[in-house]
Amino acid sequence: MVAVFVLGILAASITERRAEIATLFNNKKVEIAGIEPHNELWGTNYPREYATWKKTADMDFRSKHLGNMPEDVLESRPEMVVLWAGYAFAQDYSAPRGHAYAIEDIRSTLRTGTPVADGDGPQPATCWTCKSPDVPRMMQEMGIENFYKDKWGALGDEVVNPIGCADCHDPQTMNLTITRPALVEAFERQGKNIAEATPQEMRNLVCAQCHVEYYFQGDGKYLTFPWDGGFTVEDMEKYYDEADYADWTHAVSRAPMLKAQHPDYELFMMGTHGQRGLGCADCHMPYKSEGGIKYSDHQIVSPLKNIANTCQTCHRDSEENLRKYVYEYQDKALEIRDRIETELSKAHILAKTAWDNGANEAQMAASLQLLRQAQWRWDFAVASHGGSFHAPVETQRILAHSLDRTLQAQLELQKVLFANGVTDVNLPDISTKSKAQEYIGLDMKTLHDKKDNWKQTVVPKWVEKAKGNGRLAMK
């Protein structure tokens, strides 16, 4: 009798919940059709999800290593300035904040420059791809190729709403959907049909539209995922090598370099949670309940902020222990990372010394190749958001190989230096961000002054025009 009573209560609860959900869905206050970038409009129909999405603007959490608070990473780890010498990341690299800041942060970073006219650089419109639901709208209006090959500044008054509802949801069914063609195209080149993905796989794939390694292919800057041969760091390196591709030539060592973006999806799929079928949303968007409604928390923040609703739904252990396990994984990986950054920056400087003292291309070839390989592995591991926890074994393997190649590069460079009569190298002081940027020849005051003036003069015009055209809600 007790069992029957309990089952009856459960059945009534399920029926009530389904009825409330159906009522919510069937009594939408506004009809949303097509690509609707205004997140506020979606919030009218789905107020619970929208209320949690707005919390992506909160900057209230920091764990031992990660969080949603602003951090100048170059200030914390100035060797990275030298590692990225000649590339825009040496000017400015900050830890990511919540999705609500996607537009504000891409406008503010020094990496996007100060374009005034539509044809000004330095960046292509491809850089907007993961920042806004206005992007699929513009791709539909302009065509995908035309969108990519335009300039970033040319679309400043069109791409104005931060990452939100239309990036991941079909407005008619609210099913998860793919809105970025690069992911679909990457699957097609692997002989896969993304339309056949299961609902659980989609809880990864909507994130994989952006949280992946990518590059801009050809003069048209066509966004491409280098997955044709596989997801590992070696698979993608082979892809780039066969394409004879380099993101830039290093300004100090002259090595042809690769810049990893953020291979979060790839590393997650190599880790324990990914291999056991969990999705990104299981940990970063835990379920919440309100009345008869069960819905996902759209704040999308570190699971350590809410261990009770994330880790403890599966792991029967204390919050203290679970947090400690995460920190142990991270600490071990970051110990190797810090050693690499010290030694790899030194290797680039040794290469410069060799060039300055008469080394030729034949003498330097082996060293430059090792520098490319070492930095690609380092960047692949550290650019990933949470890779040291998502796939701790794979991340430590990659970092170990990076350190190995870094030290091999130093040995090769010492041979070159000795052959050219150099027996001692005076290393510059790069102990702070400003010293490192001065060493590689950056005039940071001018860059900041130009950016500040641009933000005060150009951005307000973008915003005003966007509001006038109805692209941005009047606030």
- pLDDT per position as a tens digit, 445-461: 999 999 999 999 999 99
Give tens-digit pLDDT for 265-313.
999 999 999 999 999 999 999 999 988 789 999 999 999 999 999 999 9
Decide: 91 and 447 in contact? Cβ < 8 Å.
Answer: yes
On the question of pLDDT at 225 being above 90, the answer is yes
Q: What is the pLDDT of residues 180-208, one digit of tens each?
A: 999 999 999 999 999 999 999 999 999 99
Which segments within 145-269 are labelled E, that is strand?
215-217, 222-224, 248-249, 256-257
3-state secondary structure of 448: helix
pLDDT on residue 293: 87
> What value does the mean pLDDT of the chain take?
94
Q: What is the pLDDT of residue 321?
A: 98
| pLDDT range class, residue 20, cuts 50, 70, 90 | very low
Q: Which amino acid is at 200?
A: Q
Question: What does the pLDDT read at residue 6?
Answer: 59
- At residue 212, does pLDDT exceed 80? yes
Question: In angstroms, rounded to a whole number, what is the distance separating the alpha carbons of residues 183 and 168?
Answer: 13
Q: What is the 3-state secondary structure (H, E, C) of 420-436?
A: CCCCCCCCCCCCCHHHH
pLDDT at 17 over 50: no
Query: In this prediction, what percent of the chain has a pLDDT beyond 90?
Result: 90
* Model pTM score: 0.93
The pLDDT tens digits of the residues spanning 325-371 come to 999 999 999 999 999 999 999 999 999 999 999 999 999 999 999 99
Calculate what percentage of the chain has a pLDDT beyond 70: 95
Cα–Cα distance for residue pair 84/5, rounded to 1 Å: 66
pLDDT band at 3 (very low <50, low <70, confident <90, very high): confident
DSSP summary character for residue 472: S
How high is the pLDDT of residue 216?
Answer: 98
pLDDT of residue 205: 98
- The pLDDT tens digits of the residues spanning 50-93 come to 999 999 999 999 999 988 998 999 999 999 999 999 999 999 99
> For position 430, what pLDDT does the model report?
98
Q: Is the pLDDT of residue 13 over 80?
A: no
Residue 258 confidence (pLDDT) above 90: yes
Q: What letter would DSSP give residue 169? A: B
**How far is 468 from 202, CA to CA, in rounded Å?**
36
pLDDT the model gives residue 22: 55
| Structural contact between residues 105 and 97, judged by C-beta atoms closer than 8 angstroms | yes
Contact 42, 164 (CB under 8 A): yes
Q: What is the pLDDT of residue 21?
A: 52
Confidence at residue 229, expressed as pLDDT on a 0 to 100 scale:
97
Cα Rg of the chain (Å, integer)? 24
Beta-bridged to residue 152, according to DSSP, are none
Q: From 364, 337, 348, select the one nearest 87 (Cα to Cα).
A: 348
24 pLDDT more than 90: no
Structure confidence by residue, pLDDT tens digits, 414-426: 999 999 999 999 9
Task: Report the pLDDT value the prediction gives residue 426, as an integer from 0 to 100.
Answer: 93
The helix or strand, by DSSP H or E, that contains position 118, with its residue range, turns out to be none
What is d(CA 134, CA 139) in angstroms, rounded to the nearest whole number? 9
